[in-house]
Structure 1
Amino acid sequence: MSYTIKNPVIPGLAPDPSILRVGEDYYIANSTFHWNPGIQLFHSRDLANWELIGQALKDDSTIDLRGTSTPAGIWAPHLSYDPQSGLFWIIFSQMINMDGRMFDTNNYVMHAPSMNGPWSTPVYIGSIGFDPSLFHDDDGRHWVVTLEWETRFGYEQPGTIVLEEFDAENEKLFGPSYRLSKGGTDRGCVEAPHLYKHDGRYYLMTAEGGTGFGHGVVLQRADQITGPYESDPNNPFITSTPYYFFRKNDPDSNRFDLYNPDAPIQKAGHGSLTDTPNGEWYVAHLMSRPMPGLKSTLGRETGLQKVEWTKDGWLKMADSSTLAKDTTPGISNVTPDPTMNDLGMEDQFDGAELDMHLLSPYRHATEDWASLKENPGKLRLHGGQSFFSRFDVSILAARADSFVFDAETKLDFKPIHFSQSAGLMLYYDNNNWLFLRKSINDETGQNFIDILQAKQGKRTDLQRVKLTLPADQTAVAFKCHVDHQTAQFSYRLSDDQSWQNLGPALDITFMSDEAIDGFTAMMVGIGAWDAFHHESYADFDYFKVVSQDSRGEHFDGLQ
């Protein structure tokens, strides 16, 4: 049976994919930035349909993301499997600070007997740079390649790809460092190194051109792991901008002038290679689908391209071009399983744990503020700091995974002070969000609902006239309908009432990577704050996101 893989295979917040096959199972790990638990893990049997199976840092308390600025946090986790020990490995960066282009980072490794864990406590291995990956050679040795970040004035930036040997038993680097490459093209911004071995040669795959519109997947090779490495003459062999340009030493990653209106998908780069049991090959890569005005509210997503080895030992896309496509051929003799489609989510809050799609920014969701036990059958959110905070906020959100979706919740909330609020939200980071909330006018004692906006750190009251609720109305249901560039908020006071719009449809493109100069994504969720005594709480009956399948949808972003 033949089938077609539609890109993105993982829509929404799913950047920097690292793909791994063990047997007939495929896995992908993605960056999660300031969201807990860190490191999303997805599973597939056909490469077309993926499901979220958990997060590697779910039970970890050693990685503290409180205070993380956008887009720092957990970067580029790399998956590998060591057949000699039977262990799965993840190596990742925690970006601490990006000010002054110092890029202070800590790199960690962890392992598990299966992709479902339990994962070991992350072990610190160094701060040379970021985007490390771990390679297990067939001679039993282990190696780490990393972008060594250059901070000196007068030196070529961003730096050099560095190779170091890794002691897997003691979980530490040792021996000399080998500087392998400053890049295989003139695009600059080399990063995301991955090592592979094929037909006796070592292949170094990197991302170049910045993580914006000039992005690409680049391949170099050597006879010895320490080099010297030569560049594929057709580099980058996967990109959205398949023409030559020189941007070495240019720190700009967005590169808006390199937008290609003829590309089906944008920003294709940061590749990771896998094979299939029958000898076919694929590259997972990040991608984006900016809407008109070059606004990517869904952030950087995961795409796939089928590739082949050429007679002279390089990789090329299956259609022999270098332009990344929104579709690619599926695996031969495999029947796809659409039931693994991961779009949308729903949590009735009647289980022992939160749905794994729900993440919390900056701090972990713990029983003291996100409780499923205090009022069984409901989620009790205790009000935290305001949503402008990067520390103790009470927010649970899922990735927005489609251009068109409906998010819905119902809550019971009894505020007593004007600084207490709870409701439904669209959220990019602490400075950019929309909040449909219930609160109180404590001068009149009347509860009301309205909409607040944070845009580039400025707070705006979008509802000058508050919608006052009946005196005995403690429960209210909220809904948000997102249709590409706009969001329509609505409410109802009882289950048999029709939804009533609150205000006009609102522009949401300010919560995009390009508007914020970031590279995370918009999320959708619920939250509560309390700047009074942190004593109030809201009981949520459920939270659900119903998404349309917009995979394969793309735009002329300049319209």
Structure 2
Amino acid sequence: MTEFSTIKNPILPGFTPDPAVLGHEDDYYLATSTFNWYPGIQIFHSKDLAHWDLQSYVFNDPEFLHLAGTDTPAGIWAPDLSFDKKTGKFWIVMCQMHNMNGNLFDQDNYAVWSDSINGPWSKPIYLNSIGFDCSLFHDDDGKHWAVTLEWDTRKGYQHPGAIVLEQFDPEQGKLVGPTKRISRGGTDRGCLEAPHIYKHNGYYYLMTAEGGTGYGHGVVVQRSKKIEGPYESDPQNPIITSTPYRYFRRGDPDSLRIDLYNPKASLQKCGHGSLVHTATDEWYVVHLSARPLPGTTNCTLGRETSIQKVVWTKDGWLHMKAGGTLAQPTTEGMKDVKVSEAPQAVGVNADFSKGSIDKHLMSPYGPRTEDWCTAKNNPGNLRIYGRQSFFSQFEVSLLASRVDSFRTLVSTELQFNPIHYSQSAGLVLYYDNSNWLFARIYHSETLNGTALAIMKGEKGNKDEYILDRVSLPDGHAQLQADIEYGDAQFYWRKGSSDDWQKLGPKIDISFMSDEQTGGFTGLMGGIGAWDAYRRQSFADFKNFKITPKK
């Protein structure tokens, strides 16, 4: 008797957008966008498609990956994962978005390969700069093809452009031959992007995202007997979405489209799909999704990753196993593969007494290096030296990980002895360089000593909760942010035997959402320091935790 388990969505809650999935034997790998965060491109691993563990990263070399000065949400976009059966090599394609001003979009697409999904990866191979969301398809005749969204910048032409096909020669390490436009979309939703090509039963299937990366998003499928087309559209398109009705928005550059919010959908913004054929001979589409704060359209957790089981119809199209096109909060698991009851939200538990830095911790604009972040100078602690403020896009001393639950505790314990008012260290809730909350230990000239207080960055403007500051003579404290959906309450105490005391008021954190910032990243919790005095101060952190509440 065949048994099925249920997979709950999202499978990767929190800031994990633009998923690309790959099945290799009975292992499954998933890559997501990391934007301006180092290391670049997270690789997750799963056995059941329901629970995913962070396994490795791809890029951590500033000589190649220059992210300093990158405006959020530029950086690393939409990695693609593929496996070439003829050579046994894993391939990753990524876009490095440098600049989005004027909608001209300056970007470069690169490919890397490895004999193992864990690397080491080859030196980046430059592909093109024609657009973004590039992916590779390895045909069974030995040819390799790159498909990219061609970002059309011309006035009067349809925005954003077309999907283009180019042959890739791995021996020469470059694209060869002509560039052919193969699709301008399978629907009238507009905002075409995220192309992937798959082959099944003699057809080439082009899977794209349409409708923008916001509330009108959808997974769209077209097919052709020839890889260069012409491609016909599935009459049901989009096959997965949060807005299961037809609408016309070709040429509309608005990708967020808040007016298309569907109050009846448990998952919003569903699109940007990636197809996987399992070892159990079943098919799934992993896709981007989001969950707004209750009663709002504000998505503080950012865009997440969900999954839907799909089946091939008699006439050769992919449709959701559950029926319809509305993305579902649960989907049927693989046959005879048990799905555990473990929660998808797992948080972080970084104990620095072990002398290592937890792999979940990332840093913005550049890699963590010994000159500002070390576990060596004070055994049992992580020492972070202050550099530029959190408004900066360059040398920022911040380690953070995604917040993956609406109800979460973010905490740390630290020792910091500042001597100048421009030196700060503490606990951070961070969306981007313009939007953050900082429970910081700093030097107060008014109190003539060390103090603890909250500073806020909102849309690039600074505010300080001066009336709520606390004297902290010895510079030692445990700090905690208690997140309840759209609110955060900070707490502090001297030691574990003491009671938690409130620090400042309850703060509305909905300003750290895609809808309020105009970006599309997600909320991170972290620890960090800055020093505008002489860049000599440091803080010693004992631990850092992100703990989802039951």
TM-score (norm 2): 0.97
Who is 1:521 aligned against?
522
Pick from 211, 214, 217 the counterpart of residue 213 of structure 2: 211
Query: For 2:67, which of 65, 68, 74 is the aligned residue?
Result: 65
Match of 2:383 in 1: 380
Give the Cα separation in 1 of the matches to 2:355 and 2:540: 16
1:188 to 165, 168, 190: 190
Structure 2 distance, partners of 1:281, 1:443, is 64
2:129 is matched with 127
Equivalent runs, 1:110-149 vs 2, <5 Å: 110-149=112-151
Shift of 1:339: 5.9
Using the TM superposition, give the Cα deviation of residue 336 of structure 1 relative to its aligned residue in structure 2, in angstroms. Answer: 2.2
Q: How far off its partner does 1:3 sit?
A: 1.2
Q: Which residue of 2 aligns with 1:552?
A: none
Whether 1:237 aligns to 2:239 is yes
Residue 364 (structure 2) aligns with: 361
The structure 1 residue matched to 2:290, chosen from 285, 288, 291, is 288
1:464 deviates by 2.5
Deviation at 1:337, TM superposition (A): 4.3
Once structures 1 and 2 are overlaid, which stretch shifts more, 143-152 or 161-170? 161-170
Q: Which runs of 5+ in 1 are unaligned?
A: 550-559
SS at 1:28 equivalent: strand
Which residue of 1 is the match for residue 255 of structure 2? 253
1:324-363 map, 5 Å: 324-337=327-340, 343-351=346-354, 353-363=356-366
* Residue identity (%): 55
User: Given that residues 7 and 339 in structure 2 are in contact (C-alpha distance below 8 angstroms), is that contact kept between their aligned partners in structure 1?
Assistant: no
Measured on the aligned residues, the alpha-carbon RMSD in Å equals 1.3
Q: How does 1:381-420 map to 2 (within 5 A)?
A: 381-420=384-423
Q: How far apart are 1:373 and its partner, in Å?
A: 1.3
For residues 481 and 447 of structure 2, what CA distance do their matches in structure 1 show?
28
Distance 1:194 1:438 in 2: 48
* Aligned amino acid, residue 176 of structure 2: F
Contact 2:103 2:153 in 1 (8 A): yes
Contact 2:387–2:535, Cα closer than 8 Å, also in 1 = yes
Does 1:504 pair with 2:491?
no
* Structure 2 residue 82 is matched with structure 1 residue 80: yes
Residues 338, 170 of structure 1: alpha-carbon distance in 2 compared, 3 angstrom cutoff: farther
- Which amino acid in the other structure matches residue 221 of structure 1? R
The CA deviation at 1:340 is: 9.0
Residue-by-residue CA offset, 1:130-176 (whole Å, 9 max, x unaligned)? 00000000111100000011011111110110000011123211111
Q: 1:271 to 1:91 in 2, by over 3 A?
A: same
Return the alpha-carbon distance in structure 2 between the equivalents of residues 339 and 58 of structure 1: 31
8 A Cα contact 1:397 1:525, kept in partner: yes
- Give the C-alpha shift of residue 178 in structure 1: 1.1
Q: Distance in 1 between matches of 2:484 and 2:435?
A: 19
Distance 1:303 1:276 in 2: 16
CA–CA distance in structure 2, aligned partners of residues 48 and 193 of structure 1: 24
Residues 1:5 and 2:7 aligned together? yes
1:423-480 per-position Cα deviation (integer Å, ceiling 9, x unaligned): 001000110000000001246531100000011111001233421123xx13111111
Answering whether residue 313 of structure 2 is matched by residue 310 of structure 1, we say yes
- Counterpart of 1:437 (choices 414, 435, 440) is 440
Q: Is the 8 A contact 2:353 2:542 kept in 1?
A: no
CA gap of 1:434–1:269, structure 2 versus 1, over 3 A, is: same
For 1:213 and 1:454, locate their aligned partners in 2 and report how far apart those are by CA, in whole Å: 27
Q: Is the 8 A contact 2:423 2:442 kept in 1?
A: yes
Q: What code does the residue aligned with 2:456 have? A: Q
Distance 1:159 1:276 in 2: 33
Q: Which amino acid aligns with 2:361?
A: L
Larger mean CA deviation between 21-30 and 454-463 belongs to: 454-463
| Residue 537 (str. 1) matches residue 538 (str. 2) | yes
SS in structure 1 of the partner of residue 136 of structure 2: strand
Per-residue CA shift, 1:257-280, capped at 9, x if unaligned? 111111121000000000112211
- Structure 2 gaps, min length 5: none
1:56/1:117 contact within 8 Å kept: yes
Q: Secondary structure at the match of 1:350?
A: helix
Distance 1:211 1:129 in 2: 16
Tell me, yes or no, if structure 1 residue 178 matches structure 2 residue 180.
yes
The CA distance in 2 between the partners of 1:351 and 1:129, in whole Å, is 44
* C-alpha contact (below 8 Å) 1:433/1:455 kept by paired residues: yes
Question: Is this contact kept in 2: 1:109–1:171, CA < 8 A?
Answer: no
Residue 101 of structure 2 is matched in structure 1 by 99
Distance 2:81 2:67 in 1: 21
Shift of 1:351: 4.0
- 1:105-148 per-residue CA deviation (whole Å, 9 max, x = no partner) reads 01111111111111222222220100000000011110000001
Cα separation, 1, equivalents of 2:274 and 2:145: 17
What residue identity is the alignment partner of 1:449? L
